[in-house]
């Protein structure tokens, strides 16, 4: 994907690959820094097929080879690639604020039509604050709409939140293409790269994660932590406007 290729072109690959961990909910890679990405919940069949072809040998790869896995057709490999990309980014904290994506969407979406791709914990609170809320989900919960409705609903939204897992399942460019050019677009979640390059792709705000205690975060990932259980991280938002 072009957006991933653009990210790959901005990185320095001098760092060694020190650790790779893929838990049931989160993936972590340690190179220059520690980067996270959501582990796909539906990796598909794995008895005859192997979701991560070189599992057990990944520390023998260099950082660039690991980062390029973000373009893999295997969602599990793509998550490793996105975590590697995040581990290599030099986050400009002067451009960031400690702001939860749910609070940002609530502020920008008050009285407006809002579409969220992915069901997040703040959805019920957000629903009370906006004019109309559509939650587009691959596996819809009560009140959500099916993924097939994205083409109809996203273009109508004035404020849009897109889960970072759209990078690993390679739907990010299609989803961005559905957004009204005048809409306020937020990309959110631990998979999201905190890179200003995303602003060149029509994104207004990036709500991602910076790992500040790699040993603690890696331990949480290995022990099956969900994103909300991971310790040693900071939630940061970078805004273009």
Q: 3-state class of 126 per DSSP?
A: helix
Quickly state the pLDDT bin for 212 (edges 50, 70, 90). Answer: very high
Report whether 114 contacts 126 (CB < 8 A). Answer: yes
pLDDT in tens, 5-21: 999 999 999 999 999 99
Report whether 13 contacts 63 (CB < 8 A). Answer: yes
CA distance 24 to 194: 23
Summarize the confidence of residues 163-192 as an average pLDDT: 97
Report whether 37 contacts 67 (CB < 8 A). Answer: no
The predicted pLDDT at position 138 comes to 86
Summarize the confidence of residues 167-186 as an average pLDDT: 97
Please give the distance of CA 5 from its chain centroid, rounded to a whole number. 16
The predicted pLDDT at position 133 comes to 96
pLDDT in tens, 150-176: 999 999 999 999 999 999 999 999 999
The predicted pLDDT at position 48 comes to 58
Kindly state the greatest CA–CA separation across the chain. Answer: 52
Report whether 202 contacts 154 (CB < 8 A). Answer: no
Instruction: Name which of 218, 216, 236, 224 is nearest 98 in CA terms.
Output: 236
CA distance 173 to 198: 11
- The string of DSSP codes covering 32-96 is SSEEEEEPPS-----SSS-SSTTTT-GGGS-HHHHHGGGG-SSHHHHHHHHHHHHHH----GGGE
Angle (nearest 5°) at CA 109 between 107 and 110: 70
Bridge pairing between strands 205-211 and 233-239: antiparallel
pLDDT in tens, 109-123: 999 999 999 999 999
Evaluate if residue 40 carries a pLDDT over 80: yes
Evaluate if residue 96 carries a pLDDT over 80: yes
Summarize the confidence of residues 74-99 as an average pLDDT: 96
Which residues on neighbouring strands pair with residue 19, listed in sequence order? Answer: 30
Q: 3-state class of 222 per DSSP?
A: helix
Quickly state the pLDDT bin for 41 (edges 50, 70, 90). Answer: confident
User: If you average pLDDT over every residue of the chain, what do you get?
Assistant: 94
Pure H helices in the chain: 2-9, 63-67, 75-88, 101-109, 123-127, 150-153, 165-168, 172-178, 214-222
Domains and CATH numbers, the chain: 2-91+210-232 (3.30.390.100), 94-209 (3.40.50.11590)
Evaluate if residue 46 carries a pLDDT over 60: no
Evaluate if residue 218 carries a pLDDT over 70: yes
Residue 53 CB-half CA count within 13 A: 7
Quickly state the pLDDT bin for 139 (edges 50, 70, 90). Answer: confident
CA distance 211 to 87: 9
Q: 3-state class of 159 per DSSP?
A: strand
Determine how many CB atoms are found less than 10 A away from the CB of residue 168. 28
């Amino acid at each position: 994907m072009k957006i991933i290729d653009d990210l790959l072109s901005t990185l320095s690959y001098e760092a060694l690959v020190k650790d790779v961990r893929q838990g049931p909910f989160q993936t972590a890679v340690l190179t220059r820094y520690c980067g996270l990405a959501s582990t796909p919940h539906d990796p598909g069949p794995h008895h005859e097929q192997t979701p991560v072809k070189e599992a057990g040998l990944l520390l023998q790869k260099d950082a660039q080879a690991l980062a390029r896995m973000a373009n893999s057709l295997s969602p599990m490999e793509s998550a490793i690639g996105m975590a590697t990309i995040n581990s290599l980014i030099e986050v400009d904290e002067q451009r960031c604020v400690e702001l939860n994506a749910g609070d940002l969407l609530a502020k920008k979406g008050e009285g407006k039509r809002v579409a969220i791709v992915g069901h997040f914990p703040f959805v019920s609170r957000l629903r009370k604050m906006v004019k109309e809320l559509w939650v587009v989900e691959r596996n819809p919960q009560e009140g959500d709409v099916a993924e097939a409705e994205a083409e109809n609903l996203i273009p109508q939204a004035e404020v849009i939140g897109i889960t970072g897992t759209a990078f690993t399942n390679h739907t990010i460019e299609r989803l961005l293409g559905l957004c009204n050019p005048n809409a306020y677009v937020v990309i959110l979640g631990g998979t999201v790269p905190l890179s200003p390059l995303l602003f060149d792709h029509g994104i207004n705000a990036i709500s991602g994660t910076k790992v500040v205690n790699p040993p603690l975060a890696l331990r949480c990932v290995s022990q099956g932590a969900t994103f909300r259980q991971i310790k040693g991280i900071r939630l940061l938002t970078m805004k273009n406007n």
